[in-house]
Amino acid sequence: MILAGGDSFIFGSELTDCLDGRATSYSHNTFTALLASGKYICAAYPGYSNFEIANSLKRTLKQIHVIPFIIVCWTWPNRDQLHTSPKVIKDFQYYCEYHKFPYMFTCADNCLIELLDVNMNMNNWYLFPPGDSSPDQTSTPRGFYQWAVENKYTCGVQHHPLEEAHQDAANLMREKFNELAIKFL
């Protein structure tokens, strides 16, 4: 089973199976759902901060009776007000390791990576490949949103990457996902 956490990108805002306008049901076309290929729980919600992402995952973990593989797409650090994103992420990583939950992290934008503790274990992170050397592309490993926008994937009117970006992201992430998850699924 896969348990996914994040914001609107992981909830699937603007994807074709999530267009009821009420944000009541998550999409099964996000890269996290596509990696799951079956048993999938989404604890993401549009607009969540990193603090809310971590809390939503912890609440969900208390309600399920299996050990899932956790995939988290952390959001922009400026969404956290009283809590700092690096501490939240590091604490959640320790939480996963303490409880022996297998996990993989990624992010929406690599600005978050620059804030993380240099001693943080990055072995369970997937960052999207850097862009080419053109000035409109990030030259370091990127987050999902950066990668999708810089590679000119179609986005919805609210700027969410659509199905093609999620499918290609799942394909890019599959090797790292398999490396981390295969023994747990």
Q: What CATH number should be reported for the domain holding residue 107?
A: 3.40.50.1110
Whether pTM > 0.75 for this model: the answer is: yes
For the chain, how many structural domains are there in total?
A: 1
Run means of pLDDT, 10 residues per run, the chain, 185 residues: 96 85 78 92 95 97 92 94 84 94 96 85 93 84 96 95 98 95 71
Question: What pLDDT is attached to residue 13?
Answer: 93
Instruction: Work out the angle between the directed axes of helices 50-63 and 85-98 (0-180°, nearest 10).
Output: 20
Question: What pLDDT is attached to residue 185?
Answer: 58
d(CA 61, CA 52): 14
Q: DSSP character for 100?
A: T
Question: What pLDDT is attached to residue 21?
Answer: 52
Question: What pLDDT is attached to residue 73?
Answer: 98
Q: Three-state SS for 78?
A: helix
CA atoms within 13 A on the CB side of 85: 23
Task: Report the alpha-carbon angle 62-66-70, nearest 5.
Answer: 75
Question: What pLDDT is attached to residue 67?
Answer: 87
- Which structural domain range is residue 145 located in? 2-181
